[in-house]
Structure 1
């Protein structure tokens, strides 16, 4: 039995999501784009959740909260984005877990549950994720969840103000 579960985020989750982002702002910053101050407001979190609900309705992306089974506490977020259908059947995976819950296997469990949803419920064939080489904890999460390393993309994303290389990982339904 899993100690966490995933569910779609709803407007009522916005305050808890904002709390995680505010508490972890410095911890997350080395691995995220530079965000405008307005990002760290309840209104923007509500807008992002509403946008996620609309994107799911249009089969563009799916955003889930990561919740502790025992307390129903929101401890992170995981998303399948950039969904491509047709012959590709692919999505990009992104996630974060509140720092106070790191090292407990929750991220690995969330990735595994999300991949299961991607394949069984959404009919995707492939899920891929890019991780900066220095983010060894996230690389370990993907490896433990069964992702394979596919290579290095140089200057892949602008993170914290600099173009960063990313190691590329993927898993397929037939892996």
Structure 2
């Protein structure tokens, strides 16, 4: 999928080295925001395993993991994932993402999340996407709000992040929310013509 400045696409095994370099460059930045990883995770073999597992998740319709690349230069600047996909009456996924620290604050993550939502509700036929963010991670909360998510509540000791059970603010968005946002944008554009 192409957005104005980004390309979102599944990772290929050949990108493991590039993904490893991105993770290593951002290790200190991401460490307070992520679970403790296994000893082999930040190795080439570990990143190849992650990419192979993401491919298996896609085949099983359980997860869709996207490389976030800049259009034009093709530089890998992040990753976005729809995981824990539940079908049946729920039709739900959890959204997770990270962005290269050097590219924070430039609107890339909001653009990527909006693109992933288009894939979630269009190509993947989901009804709902949810995300959890630690209360102190204000920039990530702003990304979700700009992308149309609504704040749904606080889940205490929700995920073990960097070795500590952390509270998370829960956000959600449904296909109807996205349709309503599109309708409002269309009406606003027609009004301005």
User: Could you list the runs of 5+ residues in structure 2 that have no partner in the other structure?
Assistant: 178-193
Show the counterpart of 1:158: 160
Give me the whole-angstrom Cα distance separating, in 2, the residues matched to 1:16 and 1:58.
25
Aligned residues: 175
Q: Following TM superposition, by how much is the alpha carbon of 1:168 offset from its aligned partner in structure 2, in angstroms?
A: 0.2
Which structure has the larger Rg over C-alpha atoms?
A: 2
Give me the whole-angstrom Cα distance separating, in 1, the residues matched to 2:116 and 2:134.
21
Q: Following TM superposition, by how much is the alpha carbon of 1:36 offset from its aligned partner in structure 2, in angstroms?
A: 2.6
User: Could you list the runs of 5+ residues in structure 1 that have no partner in the other structure?
Assistant: none
Show the counterpart of 1:81: 83
**Pairing of 1:71-150 with structure 2 (within 5 A):** 71-150=73-152
Give me the whole-angstrom Cα distance separating, in 2, the residues matched to 1:42 and 1:162.
27
TM-score normalised by length of structure 2? 0.89
Q: CA RMSD in A?
A: 0.7
Alignment of 1:28 with 2:30, yes or no, is yes
What SS does structure 1 have at the residue aligned with 2:111?
helix
TM-score normalised by length of structure 1? 0.98
- 1:79-101 deviations in Å (ceiling 9; x for gaps): 00000000100000000000011
